[in-house]
Amino acid sequence: MIEQRRVLKTAIPGPKSQELHQRKLASVSTGVSTGLPIYVESGQDGILRDVDGNQLIDFGSGIAVTSVGNGNQRIIDAVQKQIADFTHTCFMVTPYEEYVEVCEELNKRTPGSHEKRTALFNSGAEAVENAVKVARHYTGKDAIVAFDHAYHGRTNLTLAMTAKNMPYKHKFGPFASELYRVPMAYPYRWPGGEKHCEAEAFSYITDQIHAQIGEENTAAVIIEPIQGEGGFIVPPPGFLPALAQWCRDHDILFIADEVQSGFCRSGDWFAVDHEEVVPDIIVTAKGIAGGMPLSGITGRADIMDTIHGGGLGGTYGGNPVACAAALASIETMEADDLAGRAREIEAILKGRLGELSEKYEQVGEVRGRGAMIAMELVEDRVTKAPAAALTGAINKACHERGLVTLTCGTLGNVFRFLPPLTISDDLLNEGMDILGEAFAASL
């Protein structure tokens, strides 16, 4: 057990971390960079302990993964038992119950009461790729529509769907074809103003698909119901239901990428649940398995079961240890009402960020749902010029004070909060105190 308390024994990063970092620089490709080079020794709930004995408050959850907390006893027990039983057979060679049970859980908990089927993979990007494969196979159409500010992964196909050039796409092309991008319903920056965002975005997007691609050529529209890496952009109420309905009316599949927003993160099991949107296919990963690599696509049975035997799979997809962890995570979320906890976290974070927003004109907007909250920073509220340098400076100042924070946004000016759902109120508030100090020190 790690005491849930911030402890700073050395400067951040400390000498042992610095030494490890020298080894990293000499051994790991420059392509893989680290935001905060403290080398982690152990972690539990709201705390990460580094090799120098510092205890940092975790506002990142390894990018929205450890929602049930590091050091979660249910996960430890389930993983240890599964490792002792067997670690791998390959589900396509000789199957096992844990895989089936995770699929049953996903079919049951994802939106919609219709018959569903699931397939499991390893990473979010791999699952997104498979959702695209299934959509093209089922519809017999090629075009896939993604959005400005979208993030769907780093593989070649998903990079074609990901919006941001640096660092993801730069010089890594050419990218897969038949991927199209349309504007996102981004209330804070909608040209016609926030009030008109929903209606204007909907007609702009559907007109563009009609004119530039053709509904009859469009296999699927894929959207993050709350955009993650792109800046925690929450579309205006009504936008997702209208878009999903339009897709249905035109035999286009509506795919929700809930890799980041899913599994209680947004204050409900899935972010689409807030507006009762039922996707044809939902993509899940990250929070599903408490840190073990696992992802899935869950879709209408009639879609998922058109795929020929052997058409989907992979050596490790639905690995038994990852599945055991997923079952323990889901059990924890249910037993401990982590969706409810995410809503409590939202209230605390939005309260504290509201105070910052009153104090500093640079806080352009506070937005998000559950334990997926962000503030967008601007030079001033009139021009809304993105304040990327300030965002980076505050992030660094938080790190130095023992708070693990993350930024995001296509323009690099969004500060995001993704604490484990098991973090204590005290650590949340202490983290927000640190943020306030870091803000003041960075202006």
CA gap 332, 442 in Å, rounded: 39
Q: What is the DSSP letter of 310?
A: T
CA distances from 363 to 40, 339, 413 (A): 31, 27, 10
Task: Judge contact between 247 and 213, C-beta under 8 A.
Answer: no
Task: Judge contact between 282 and 272, C-beta under 8 A.
Answer: yes
Of 163 and 356, which has the nearer Cβ to ligand PLZ? 163
Kindly tell me which residue out of 50, 52, 129, 224 binds ligand PLZ, with binding defined by CB under 6 A. Answer: 224
Of 259 and 264, which has the nearer Cβ to ligand PLZ? 259
CA gap 378, 289 in Å, rounded: 36
Task: Judge contact between 184 and 149, C-beta under 8 A.
Answer: yes
Residue 125 makes contact with ligand PLZ by CB under 6 A:
yes
Of 131 and 432, which has the nearer Cβ to ligand PLZ? 131
In the bound complex, what is the minimum distance in angstroms from residue 393's beta carbon to ligand PLZ?
21
| 285-314: contacts with ligand PLZ (CB under 6 A) | 285
In the bound complex, what is the minimum distance in angstroms from residue 299's beta carbon to ligand PLZ?
16
Task: Judge contact between 116 and 304, C-beta under 8 A.
Answer: yes
Segment contacting ligand PLZ (CB under 6 A): 145-153, 340-348, 386-394, 413-421? 145-153
Of 236 and 296, which has the nearer Cβ to ligand PLZ? 296
In the bound complex, what is the minimum distance in angstroms from residue 167's beta carbon to ligand PLZ?
8
In the bound complex, what is the minimum distance in angstroms from residue 135's beta carbon to ligand PLZ?
16
CA distances from 257 to 48, 158, 260 (A): 28, 12, 8
DSSP character string of 354-421: HHHHHH-TTEEEEEEETTEEEEEEBS-TTT--B-HHHHHHHHHHHHHTTEE-EEE-TTS-EEEE---T
From residue 50 to residue 79, what is the string marking binding to ligand PLZ with x (rule CB under 6 A)? -------------x----------------
Kindly tell me which residue out of 121, 151, 269, 270 binds ligand PLZ, with binding defined by CB under 6 A. Answer: 151
Of 38 and 128, which has the nearer Cβ to ligand PLZ? 128
Segment contacting ligand PLZ (CB under 6 A): 192-200, 254-262, 335-343, 346-354? 254-262
CA distances from 9 to 41, 47, 297, 298 (A): 15, 15, 44, 46
- The pair phi, psi for residue 388, each rounded to 5°, is -70, -40
CA dihedral angle for residue 65, residue 183, residue 366, residue 225, rounded to 10 degrees: -40
In the bound complex, what is the minimum distance in angstroms from residue 391's beta carbon to ligand PLZ?
16
Please give the order of strands across the beta sheet that includes 253-257.
Answer: 116-121, 295-300, 281-284, 253-257, 218-223, 143-147, 179-182
Residue 124 makes contact with ligand PLZ by CB under 6 A:
yes
Segment contacting ligand PLZ (CB under 6 A): 140-148, 252-260, 271-279, 381-389? 252-260
Residue in the structure block whose two tokens are 């080398």: 39
CA gap 288, 41 in Å, rounded: 23
Segment contacting ligand PLZ (CB under 6 A): 30-38, 224-232, 309-317, 347-355? 224-232
Residue 435 makes contact with ligand PLZ by CB under 6 A:
no
Residue 129 makes contact with ligand PLZ by CB under 6 A:
no
Kindly tell me which residue out of 44, 123, 218, 395 binds ligand PLZ, with binding defined by CB under 6 A. Answer: 123
Residue 154 makes contact with ligand PLZ by CB under 6 A:
yes
In the bound complex, what is the minimum distance in angstroms from residue 70's beta carbon to ligand PLZ?
18
Segment contacting ligand PLZ (CB under 6 A): 81-89, 257-265, 307-315, 381-389? 257-265
In the bound complex, what is the minimum distance in angstroms from residue 443's beta carbon to ligand PLZ?
28
- 3-class DSSP assignment, residue 118: strand
CA gap 120, 376 in Å, rounded: 35
Residue 395 makes contact with ligand PLZ by CB under 6 A:
no
Residue closest to ligand PLZ (Cβ): 124
Q: Is the dihedral of CA 419, 48, 429, 355 positive or negative?
A: negative
The contact set with ligand PLZ (CB under 6 A) reads 63, 123-125, 128, 151-154, 224, 228-229, 257, 259-260, 285
